[in-house]
Amino acid sequence: MAELERLRGRNFLVIGRAGMDLYADPAGTRIEEASRFVAHLGGSSANIAVALVRQGCKAALLTRVSDDAVGRFCLAQLDGYGVDRTLVRVEGGEARNSLAVVETRVEDCQSVIYRNGAADFAMVAADVEAVDYAKFSALVTTGTVLAAEPSRSAAFRAFDLARAAGLPLVFDVDYRPYSWPSAAVAAETYSRAAALCDVIVGNDVEFGFMAGHPDRGLDKARELVAEGAQVVVYKMGEKGAVTITREGEFATGIYPTRALKPTGAGDSFLGAFLAGLASGLPVKAAVLRGSAAAAMVVARVGCAPAMPDLPELDDFLTTHPGPSA
């Protein structure tokens, strides 16, 4: 396994989708009642890259976008947020970008996601073999990348190349059932990916899924550390998280907030958590920064535009009560 000390280079390679999010406007409006929508950058990997940049790190996105107006929207948004998109390829033909139609609501929040012919799934081995991994501090990927071929094989090839270059591998489980051919394929693929990674972050449902039983998720998280992972964060929503390392484990609570929506919390958590580790913070302090960032994002409209910058997060931690026990 790679040394996490390399994270201090603060230059992250993130693999996975960028998309367009259309939010029913104003906040609180249901999709079926909306007459107006606001467009933002979306996609879990793009959101994570934005979160890292907002926290003072560098981030490059490796993916494919469609050769149409939505793909060009994503490219322009990445530029606007300061995410390096040198490694983003354009996929022509009938490929289409990920598109999400979302509500800013806490209760019964609807998120309708269109992924037919997804451009990011067209990523191939040649895309990842063209990368100079030596210049990066870590490779970050989400489970969505692994849901279809040729993206799945390309991502595992990237794992091999990054590992050969000494990069830590970071895996956000991010299970989206609609993207997978079957639950069995997803469980096998996730377990294979997690076994290769140094830092693994997911929620209780996702770890339970990998374990084959909803009650065995925490056992699966502990097993991954026993088998070689360095940090595993087992998130439990409002109950906080359990973080497991080779030195032991600890529980942390959440920061109380007045949430507007449930989306974006995981992406903001991972970005701020990794930025904290990259700054040399202890694991627990980095987890708390991630938790605070998640609390901030669910209280704001959108995902990418809701990611806090470094001064905002520092101010929140100084002035906000928490975390809960």
pTM of the predicted model, to two decimals? 0.97
The pLDDT of residue 178: 86
* CA gap 51, 162 in Å, rounded: 22
Residue environment code for 116-145, b if the CB has 16+ CB neighbours within 10 A, otherwise e: eebbbbbbeeebbeebebeebbbbbbbbbb
Tens digits of pLDDT across the chain (325 residues): 679 999 999 999 999 999 999 999 999 999 999 999 999 999 999 999 999 999 999 999 999 999 999 999 999 999 999 999 999 999 999 999 999 999 999 999 999 999 989 999 999 999 999 999 999 999 999 999 999 999 999 999 999 999 999 999 999 999 988 889 998 999 999 999 999 999 999 999 999 999 999 999 999 999 999 999 999 999 999 899 999 999 999 999 999 999 999 999 999 999 999 999 999 999 999 999 999 999 999 999 999 999 999 999 999 999 988 787 6
Domains present along the chain, CATH in parentheses: 4-15+45-62+121-319 (3.40.1190.20)
Beta-carbon contacts of 301 under 8 Å, excluding residues fewer than 6 positions away, are 23, 27, 38, 104, 260, 261
The pLDDT of residue 325: 66
The pLDDT of residue 179: 87
* CA gap 238, 247 in Å, rounded: 25
The pLDDT of residue 241: 97
Which one, of 229, 4, 268, 230, lies nearest residue 139 by Cα?
4
Q: What is the dihedral of CA 313, 194, 240, 278, to 10 degrees?
A: -20
